[in-house]
Structure 1
Amino acid sequence: MKPYPFTAVVGMQELRLALVLSAISPAIGGVLVRGEKGTAKSTMVRALAGLLPSVDVVEDCRFSCDPASPDPGCPDGPHGGASKRRPARLVELPVGAAEDRVIGSLNLERALGEGVTDYQPGLLAAAHRGLLYVDEVNLLHDHLVDTLLDAAAMGRATVEREGVSVSHAARFVLIGTMNPEEGELRPQLLDRFGLTVEVASSRDPEQRVQVVRRRLAYEADPDGFADQYAEDDAKLASEIEAAQALLPSVRLGDDALRQIAEVCASFEVDGMRADIVTARTAVAHAAWSGREDVTTDDIRVAARLALPHRRRRNPFDAPGIEEEQLEQALRDAEPPQGPDDDGPGSGSEPPAEQEPPPAGSSDDQPGDGQGTQSGQQTVGSGKPFKARLFTLDGTGEGAHGRRSRAITDTGRTIGVKPSSVREGHPHLLATIRAAAPHQRARGRDGAGLELRGQDLRFALREGREGNLVLFCVDASGSMGAKTRMREVKSAVLSLLLDAYQRRDKVGLVTFRAAEAELALPPTISVDAAASRLEGLPTGGRTPLAEGLLKAANVLRLEAIRDPRRRPLLVVVTDGRATSGADAVARSRQAADLLAGTGVAAIVMDCESGKMRLGLAAELAARLGAEHVPLAEVAAESLAGAVRARTGRAA
């Protein structure tokens, strides 16, 4: 069955351009495609492989060396034999792939038994001179993403293991797709992708009809449908090949470089990677347009693709680029014009005569972020602060993260797995010890070990895990004081930022009036949690029991879905229970129920005023939780108290 044709995809012009430019110049660093599910992200990436020119490779070389310029360090070299021509490959990397599958591994049995270095290539070798596609790249383990991006940037992959070093060429176009609702990539990883594109489904009914019609036609007759667009795909493929041939001849002049530097400085991007990627993209766009000189239009297109994701300072910043700021930066960097160049659009008008940009929407809103609707009040949060690390006691087995100690397949070796467990990284010394007593019985003759499969032992490694942080926030009327609620939101927002950096899962339960609500189911998308928190209204009575019971139910269900991820419950309340009959008794029963589960917890006491009832302290005692009076600690001290408590929690 033929794949869906690239030229048959409806719309998606920006994504189409970004993929084409990366195919023309792999040095750009690949493309990150962000968008909601069902927007043809994967379809376009898989179709792109059919447009790439075929490649000449050395026959029998597992690393796809170019016969005209073979890799001198190729593990299969030196080369001097026949060559063959084959289509460029599309290699897909599964989210659950192990590190050995990605970068390759050494055959330990042959290394010990025969004394030879038998390197088994991984996916990076298979993708050399082709496409490497990672769907849901935001769910990939961080260390694997680092490995991929390092290889994409350096053009080589290196395996250092068991005292043996193997290196091979790994130049490919890296394409990653992700749904932001499922969690963000860290800014450091975002920056390593050359280009980024935001995609969304069209709201135009006619275009949606066209999408459905083409998809149904393809499913009814894939080969026949693909044949209808074969000529268009072939034409596009030839245009890409022509642009690749023109690319080395494109000139990037000093004026163009100055414009690129002005644009990147204007948007205050960190480091120099943005300038380099923008320059490479502008050159590729000039080649795609058939020009031998980079123009302002090329730089404009490149900036729109290379800068939006580099402007994010934290996960709560929305990606994007302001068109007016871009145009102003391009104008500011335009070279001086001659006396005759005074026509429209020449850029000769002095800056003072430029019409000032309109005021931002934020200037038209109240500064304190308040709003009132149906008796509810919404108060914005203060500025988040840098949180200190907190960890759970013991050693977990949860998902990869950067918080608590856990047994993982990365990290430092602390021992050997039981002999029945045959997965992970081989442990050289333990394998030798297991094989040594049997050498005489196996009739070993000469040097080397007589090694068998049952001798292999695997390393037990300790790394870091991510935890589940569930916030249970009192949003009743007693919490509605502007200053207090802003402080509470600032503290919770800071803990969310810390959770993002530590790769935690977060959830948000709120309670007010007569019920509790799961405002955000547990997710790694902490920016979604921040958005829900920012818009959280306050008002009404305090259904404390309902909030605690809802939190207990969420933790129970999450323990079934993700049993390896250890939880922390953060209850934010003044301890009052005023909703319904027997509110106090029911809240005590709910607290006892939660305490019986053994969950690590902290109670942030938001009670204020001269006359205090101490209800939050009583709640903390029932939960077996740390009691932190919010009014007595600054924001940074509050975060430290949270971390101190979870450091003692089992």
Structure 2
Amino acid sequence: MTSIDQHFPFSAVVGADGPDGPDPMALALILTTIAPEVGGVLVRGEKGTAKSTIVRALAAVLPPVDGRPVPLVELPIGATEDRVTGSINLESALAEGKAEYEPGLLAKAHRGILYVDEVNLLHDHLVDLLLDAAAMGRATVERDGVSMTHEARFVLVGTMNPEEGELRPQLLDRFGLTVEVAAPRDPALRAEVVRRRMAYDADPAGFAERYAAAEAALQTRIAAARALLASVRLTDAGLLKIAEVCATFDVDGLRADIVTARTAVAHAAWSGRSQVTLDDIRVAARLALPHRRRRKPFDAPGLDEDLLDQVLGDDLPPEPDGPEPDGPEPDGPEPDGDHPEGPHSEDDAPAEGAEDSLEPGAPDPTSSSTGAGAHGDNDVTSGTGATYRTRLLTVRGIGAGTAGRRSRARTSNGRRIGASKPDRPGSTGAIHLTETIRAAAPHQFARGRRDGRLVLQQADLRVAVREGRESNLVLFCVDASGSMAARKRMEQVKTAVLSLLLDAYQRRDKVGLVTFRGACAEVALPPTHSVDAAAQRLEELPAGGRTPLAEGLLEAAHLLSVEQTRDPQRRPLLVVVTDGRATSGADAVARSRAAADLLAAAGITCVVVDCEAGPMRMGLAATLAEHLGAEHVPIGEVSAEALVDAARRAA
């Protein structure tokens, strides 16, 4: 549990004390503490935007619980499931033979705040577990002989930097509110941020004292809003307007409607009103809907403000004076008829028209000049086609990296394949009760046991060894030379790589991108969890010039060597996308094969995606694959469906 005494004051964060009220980040945090059933807040933004600072300051302004400060519990990225939910007390089990429950972080966060920094780097099943507990207000433990349910009512706050990787859309939807933050571009605001930070660092206690009155006023206002919350009225007209907004923005399911309604009620209480107004609904929609519009992995969250204003209109219709008649109301068909249909069709029509107007593989007029400036006037930038499901590419052998969905590995969750002592590598799983008893059984007579309870010692302990899947570093080394510049070929290449990127996203891999053309290779994207960033760099990639294949392979080898030092547990998979030609520099072919031999000697698992097409093929990519010790995959067989069709034809 974290001490909150000397945290940077909430009211001192630039934006939390604005003349028009708190900015969206501060407001979302306040609303979810007023009404925890909203479902928590996800704060997304670039590094250095006070995400962690304001969350840690939040606990200090919340009204005390039973006379004690609100607990702030921080969940570390490396936390295991038993650390989160709790598990059997091992010391008690071994020393006294009692199966006692040891509370986890969810129990400690009860009636407080559970804060997860870099929540996008947390394993999916743990994120799901946290969101379930936050939504239900209780946690259920079923493990290691323990079966129990305990209260776990807390405010869940997650922060993340999208550059390090995205949360899956289904997990994004589970967060009640989401806020996008960025550093201010106004020099005066930036200077004020620095001024306050330096003043705090010089004298934390004195700085906090200057904001004590503002902190007390904020605490009082939150307490008053909580007291008012139960009496705030959401009229049928307001509820219908919320449903109309959610339907217009075409969000899946009904969670968006529920969260928007709860947030609107909380904002009305925060504003001191006893009835929800159109302004409350507008604020709630801005916080609850943007992340729910993200349908596909590479879609960016966002909300069309003009469309929102159009749907909301100027005011809510008045409530009827008398009792409502049975059956449909006279103006009932309107929300399902022309009114929402108009904005929805206007929103979709331009995108559909724009999509139809572009020919497959047409160059991007805004990015083709970039390549020309660096490499020549004949560079071409092609678009991508529709992605498809790819065949599974894996790393050879069995690893011990971060749990994922690609290559075989010893993991903490998966199929149990044996047991070992806790001090052995790969033995971080739960207690293997059967093997522990078998290890202790031969020593019972020597330990003086004649009947009754089994006598256990530390040396008897065995833990489960499990085999599952790990995530890997998938590094793409893409040939962007002139031989790839034909529109159809480059479109096919980009579509294949984008499909593999989508596969990497779904398997929770880290990805990187190296490109080579002209006379050199460059790291277009250093290894990152942000598959979205890789997709954007790929989309903007121009093609043209000679083929420095050796330089591309050597750049990839260097990058993988650096990453191996940084993260030795994460095994790499190198995907070389090329037609195998080498035309840049002296002895280009010999140097490229020497570079391939170097990668093979390093034991790096490689895959060569062969982009060569046409009736006359030189087979250079297949030769390169032999030198790399790599799997050779023609680009037409990257698709899983193509592989199935080929197998059927062979049968």
TM-score interval (norm. to shorter): 0.7 to 0.9
Shift of 1:393: 4.3
Whether the 8 Å CA contact 2:44–2:159 is kept in 1: the answer is yes
For residues 349-405 of structure 1, give each alpha carbon's deviation from its aligned partner in whole angstroms, at most 9, with x where no partner exists. Answer: x96999978996997897235233231221111121233444344321111112222
Provide the residue aligned with 2:154 in structure 1: 172
Q: 2:135 aligns with which of 153, 158, 161?
A: 153
Q: Which residue of 1 aligns with 2:85?
A: 103
Match of 1:297 among 275, 279, 291: 279
Matched, 1:33 2:15: no
8 Å contact 1:491–1:639 — kept in the other structure? no
2:551 to 546, 550, 575: 546
Shift of the 564–165 alpha-carbon distance from structure 1 to 2, 3 Å rule, reads same
Question: What's 1:307 paired with?
Answer: 289
Q: Which residue number in structure 2 is paired with residue 48 of structure 1? A: 58
Opposite residue 16 of structure 1, the aligned amino acid is A
Residue 285 of structure 1 pairs with residue 274 of structure 2? no
Give the partner amino acid of 2:440: A
- For 1:18, the equivalent position in structure 2 comes to 28
Q: Structure 1 residue aligned with 2:478, among 473, 481, 489?
A: 473
Question: Letter of the aligned partner of 1:460 in structure 2?
Answer: V
Give the aligned partner of residue 487 of structure 1.
Answer: 492
Deviations 1:100-142, CA, capped at 9 Å, x for gaps: 2211111245346645442111111110000000111111122
Q: Which amino acid aligns with 2:545?
A: G
Residue 280 of structure 1, CA deviation: 0.9
Cα deviations by residue, 1:295-341 (Å, 9 ceiling, x for unpaired): 22111111111111111123311111111222233249964899xxx
The one-character-per-residue Cα deviations of 1:546-594 (angstroms, maximum 9, x if unpaired) are 1111122222222222222222221111222111122122222222222
**Matched AA of 1:221:** D
Note the 1:381-392 alignment, pairs <5 A.
381-392=384-395
Given that 1:109 and 1:451 are in contact with CA atoms closer than 8 Å, whether structure 2 keeps it comes out as no
Distance 1:445 1:227, change over 3 A: farther
Report the residue type matching 1:491 in the other structure. A
Q: Is the 8 A contact 1:114 1:448 kept in 2?
A: no
2:235 matched residue in structure 1: 253
Alpha-carbon distance between aligned partners in 2 of 1:213 and 1:443, rounded to the nearest angstrom: 71
Pairing 1:378–2:381 present: yes
What residue in structure 1 maps to residue 19 of structure 2? none
Aligned to 1:568: 573
Q: Which runs of 5+ in 1 are unaligned?
A: 57-84, 339-346, 644-650
Which segment drifts farther, 137-146 or 297-306?
A: 137-146
Match of 2:176 in 1: 194
Q: Which residue identity does 2:174 align to in structure 1?
A: R
The CA distance in 1 between the partners of 2:386 and 2:315, in whole Å, is 34
Q: Which residue of 1 aligns with 2:327?
A: none
The change in CA–CA distance for 1:609 and 1:414 in structure 2 (over 3 A counts) is closer
Q: Amino acid of the residue matched to residue 386 of structure 1? A: R
Looking at structure 2, the residues matched to 642 and 33 of structure 1 have their Cα atoms a distance apart, in angstroms, of: 47
Q: Does 1:404 align with 2:430?
A: no
1:235 to 217, 223, 231: 217
The equivalent residue for 1:204 is 186
**Paired residue type of 1:398:** G
- Could you say what secondary structure the match of 2:274 adopts? coil
Q: Are the equivalent residues in 2 in contact too, given 1:387–1:640 (CA < 8 A)?
A: no
How many residues align? The count is 604
Q: Tell me the distance in 2 between the aligned counterparts of 1:210 and 1:361.
A: 41
Q: What is the alpha-carbon distance in structure 2 between the residues aligned to residue 459 and residue 285 of structure 1?
A: 49
Q: Is the Cα–Cα contact under 8 Å of residues 389 and 639 in structure 2 kept in the other structure?
A: no
- How far did residue 279 of structure 1 move? 1.1
Task: Measure how far apart 1:4 and its partner are.
Answer: 0.9
User: Alpha-carbon deviations, 1:500-522, whole Å to 9, x = none?
Assistant: 01001111110000000111111
TM-score (norm 1): 0.87
Distance change >3 Å, CA 258–CA 529, structure 1 → 2:
same
Give the TM-score of the pair, scaled to structure 2.
0.87
Counterpart Cα distance in 2 of 1:606 and 1:441:
70
Is the CA contact (8 Å cut-off) linking 2:87 and 2:146 kept in structure 1?
no
- Structure 2 SS opposite 1:55: coil
| Corresponding residue SS for 1:249 | coil
1:633 CA displacement? 4.7
Match of 2:332 in 1: none
1:162-197 superposed Cα distances (whole Å, 9 cap, x missing partner): 333021000100001111111111112111111111
Give yes or no for the alignment of 1:4 onto 2:8: yes
Give the conservation status (yes or no) of the 8 Å contact 1:569–1:599.
Answer: yes
How far apart, in 2, do the equivalents of 1:243 and 1:445 lie? 65
Given the superposition, is the C-alpha separation of residues 296 and 369 from structure 1 closer, same or farther in structure 2, using an over 3 Å criterion?
Answer: farther
Question: Against the structure 1 CA distance between its residues 333 and 359, is the aligned structure 2 distance closer, same or farther, given a 3 Å change threshold?
Answer: farther
Separation in 2, partners of 1:623, 1:353: 57
- Kindly provide the amino acid, as one letter, of the partner of residue 394 in structure 1: G
Worse-matched range after superposition: 41-50 or 137-146 = 137-146
Correspondences of 1:337-352 after superposition (within 5 Å): none
- Indicate if the aligned counterparts of 2:36 and 2:154 stay in contact, CA closer than 8 A: yes
Q: 1:457 maps to what in 2?
A: 462
Question: Using the alignment, how far apart are the partners of 2:70 and 2:149 within structure 1?
Answer: 22
- Aligned CA distance change for structure 1 residues 293 and 641 (closer, same or farther; 3 Å): same
Structure 2: gaps spanning 5 or more residues: 17-22, 321-334
Partner residue, 1:527: 532
Q: Structure 1 587/289 Cα, relative in aligned 2: closer, same or farther at 3 Å?
A: same
Q: Look up the equivalent residue of 1:434 and give its one-letter code.
A: A
What amino acid is the match of 1:440?
Answer: F
Instruction: Tell me, in whole angstroms, the C-alpha distance in 2 between the residues paired with 1:640 and 1:549.
Output: 34
**Counterpart AA for 1:41:** K
The 8 Å contact of residues 29 and 174 in structure 1, kept in 2 or not, is answered as yes
Residue 53 of structure 1 contacts residue 237 of structure 1 at CA under 8 Å; is this kept in 2? yes
Moved more, 127-136 or 261-270: 261-270
Q: Secondary structure, in 3 states, of the residue corresponding to 2:173?
A: helix
Identity %: 66
Aligned partner of 1:163 in structure 2 is: 145
CA 115–610 in structure 1, closer or farther in 2 if over 3 Å, else same:
closer
CA distance in 2, matches of 1:201, 1:586: 46
Using a 3 Å threshold, how does the CA distance of structure 1 residues 583 and 275 change in structure 2: closer, same or farther? same
Q: Aligned partners of 1:106, 1:635: CA distance in 2, in Å?
A: 46
Residue 289 of structure 1: CA displacement? 1.2
Question: Residues of 2 paired with 1:160 and 1:442: CA distance?
Answer: 32
